[in-house]
Chain A
């Protein structure tokens, strides 16, 4: 389905200083039984946000009153494991518009892009500076500029990569299904050529 257009995201951020965050942590399997895309945000990081007695874990960054914002800053290899798109839906549904990390798992990255959630891959050094800045001052503002493909922290700025096609989809809220359906003649010609 068409997504909201993404251009510039300026916000404070929530730091999640953990590497190899897998999709089972982002949204545990027991919450995958829904047949719609809505409502996954309330179970985002369920088993890290709540303890075994279902009480809030105060120290977990998403629960901390210090941190808020539309940007999640996470350790490297974010979104590894399952292909469940529910993970991207949960991050988006919770209210994040972008995830920043030094490395994303491939399937999570494409799932995010397909849902108007911007994955911003930065260098390890820049990621570390982001963590340090946010942890010392949670009101730190981060600016992500999709048209210019940059992420800024104060005067520091880094460029990030994104495929031209995906960038256009995000900026215009386009969706791949319409594009693929419009390619029907080419797809049929391909099928004929293989007979």
Chain B
């Protein structure tokens, strides 16, 4: 029987099978950041052991960092301490750190791919659920907890039970103005926030294959939002062209040999999946969420569902609770709703392509009065690209100062918090209650829709600007 892409990568990384269903899986690269690592390093210290393969760990500071005045000491004491702890731990255990002030600093899931550290066929983990992002390269990438961070630091391996596998195929081309973010929000809407639980997903079909690497990263990033551990897309010429020439990409003969291997990474035609779903790209329009989990999404021209649209009592209760929190009503249209905050950034949509999209709409326009727009690049390199391509200037002319890299208002661990009750259209990945700050209300969307709201002050169909 044929193998799936996932099987091929998994099988190539099994160090040992324990015999009761779990495999010891070798990890090619471990990404760490300040929030989920301190307790893991403490564990190593108390056991008196070091990091087993220090060269296979890449560290950055992202969750807690401010997005202005990064050259100054961090004001908030606990954030400052947590980052100082990371610096100390990296020094003590001999790890590479792209911390504040480093030219490579940025959100962990942005910098891995842009440095060429993330490559097809590899295994990648990080103490962060959006590690799924790296699956865009045709690799197995998943989020882990701090105990597992300690395991990987101690042994470069993890005991793992092989998950079930799902394939999601979206046929056809996305329509003009419809982005990778809309594609994944649509998919999660169809499967719900729990539809992928217990599965690893392969995304297939023309809609995914036609995406740029940035778009593929946006899609795989949000795999966790339907409960899946991760999602992956088979590598192809787009993948190979993206990796080529990057700082940590293979070079010379090594490159040719490696690419030859990458070309074997696809699901065999007779491979079987535990679940399959197929959708049509033509059905997708720009998407918005109205509720408090990423599965609660609708097309921009649709109205918010009503209790009568659901048969399950628990779905009705979820809708009611979510709309009460969001201060929205059943059957209401989101189009035309005033927003007071716009956030473009995060590991979902903080890459150069996202800022290019935002610039397309913002160019020659001004931010609407009463709107606070936070444009936060995902890395120092994205920040530099924005400058070089003239995007920073376009934003400045619109009245938006490009901020400095970090996770920012995606989870509001730094100062970038949406005030209580305010409505924010956000390109990030989660609209959970209080995610962007206590009492903040979040509408998830793609960069086009977020930028359109920034210049109009209300939820607007971005296609009217394109």
Report the separation of the CA atoms of residues A72 and B307 in the bound assembly, to the nearest whole angstrom. 28
A33 touches B16 (CB 8 A): no
Q: Which chain A residues lie closer than 8 Å to B194 at the CB level?
A: 20, 76-77, 80, 103, 105
B197 touches A29 (CB 8 A): no
Contact of B49 among A52, A181, A191 (CB under 8 A): A181
Apart from A110-B144, A176-B159, A187-B15: 4 A-B pairs, beta carbons within 8 A: A35-B39, A111-B146, A183-B157, A191-B26
Q: Give B140-183 as 1s and 0s: 1 = Cβ < 8 Å from A's Cβ atoms.
A: 00011111101100111111010100000000000000000000
B129 touches A33 (CB 8 A): no
Q: Which chain B residues (185-209) contact chain A, with CB distance < 8 Å?
A: 193-194, 197-198
A106 touches B430 (CB 8 A): no
Chain A residues near B (Cβ < 8 Å): 1, 18-20, 22, 24-25, 28-30, 32-37, 47, 52, 75-77, 80-86, 88, 103-107, 110-111, 114-115, 163-165, 176-177, 179-181, 183-184, 186-187, 190-191
Q: Which chain B residues lie closer than 8 Å to A106 at the CB level?
A: 163, 197-198, 227, 229
Report the separation of the CA atoms of residues A110 and B160 in the bound assembly, to the nearest whole angstrom. 10
Task: Across the interface, name the chain B residue whose C-beta is closest to A106.
Answer: B229
Report the separation of the CA atoms of residues A184 and B144 in the bound assembly, to the nearest whole angstrom. 21
Q: Which chain B residues lie closer than 8 Å to A19 at the CB level?
A: 314, 317-318
With A106-B227, A186-B24 known as contacts, the answer to whether A77 contacts B157 (CB < 8 A) is: no
B432 contacts partner chain A, Cβ-Cβ < 8 Å: yes
With A52-B439, A80-B293 known as contacts, the answer to whether A180 contacts B38 (CB < 8 A) is: no
Task: Across the interface, name the chain A residue whose C-beta is closest to B226.
Answer: A80
Q: Which of B77-85, B234-242, B265-273, B454-462 contacts A (4 or more CB under 8 A)?
A: B77-85
Q: Which of B3-11, B40-48, B368-376 contacts A (4 or more CB under 8 A)?
A: B40-48
Q: Which chain B residues (271-328) contact chain A, with CB distance < 8 Å?
A: 293, 314, 317-318, 321
Q: Which of B39, B150, B158 has the most CB of A within 10 A?
A: B39
Contact of A163 among B49, B151, B161 (CB under 8 A): B161
B96 contacts partner chain A, Cβ-Cβ < 8 Å: no
Task: Across the interface, name the chain B residue whose C-beta is closest to A184.
Answer: B155
B433 contacts partner chain A, Cβ-Cβ < 8 Å: yes
With A114-B145, A163-B22, A164-B20 known as contacts, the answer to whether A30 contacts B412 (CB < 8 A) is: yes
A82 touches B155 (CB 8 A): no
Report the separation of the CA atoms of residues A22 and B226 in the bound assembly, to the nearest whole angstrom. 12
A25 touches B433 (CB 8 A): yes
With A47-B434, A163-B20 known as contacts, the answer to whether A37 contacts B157 (CB < 8 A) is: no
B36 contacts partner chain A, Cβ-Cβ < 8 Å: yes
Contact of B293 among A22, A164, A176 (CB under 8 A): A22
B438 touches A52 (CB 8 A): yes
**Selected A-B contacts with CB under 8 Å, 12 pairs:** A19-B318, A20-B193, A25-B432, A30-B438, A47-B433, A76-B194, A77-B193, A77-B227, A84-B36, A107-B229, A111-B145, A111-B146
Q: Which chain A residues lie closer than 8 Å to B39 at the CB level?
A: 35-37, 85
A84 touches B148 (CB 8 A): no
Report the separation of the CA atoms of residues A180 and B153 in the bound assembly, to the nearest whole angstrom. 11
Q: Which chain B residues lie closer than 8 Å to A181 at the CB level?
A: 49, 154-155
A115 touches B147 (CB 8 A): yes
B264 contacts partner chain A, Cβ-Cβ < 8 Å: no
Report the separation of the CA atoms of residues A20 and B78 in the bound assembly, to the nearest whole angstrom. 30
Task: Across the interface, name the chain B residue whose C-beta is closest to A179.
Answer: B159
A180 touches B151 (CB 8 A): yes
Q: Which chain A residues lie closer than 8 Å to B158 at the CB level?
A: 180
B128 contacts partner chain A, Cβ-Cβ < 8 Å: yes
Task: Across the interface, name the chain A residue whose C-beta is closest to B126.
Answer: A83
Report the separation of the CA atoms of residues A32 and B317 in the bound assembly, to the nearest whole angstrom. 29
A24 touches B24 (CB 8 A): no
A163 touches B21 (CB 8 A): yes
With A80-B194, A81-B430, A177-B151 known as contacts, the answer to whether A186 contacts B15 (CB < 8 A) is: yes
Q: Least Cβ distance of B407 to chain A in Å?
A: 9
Report the separation of the CA atoms of residues A34 and B78 in the bound assembly, to the nearest whole angstrom. 7
Contact of B85 among A25, A35, A77, A107 (CB under 8 A): A35
Q: Which chain B residues lie closer than 8 Å to A179 at the CB level?
A: 159
B155 touches A33 (CB 8 A): no
Q: Which chain A residues lie closer than 8 Å to B24 at the CB level?
A: 180, 183, 186-187
Contact of A24 among B36, B147, B430 (CB under 8 A): B430
Task: Across the interface, name the chain B residue whose C-beta is closest to A77.
Answer: B194
B435 contacts partner chain A, Cβ-Cβ < 8 Å: yes
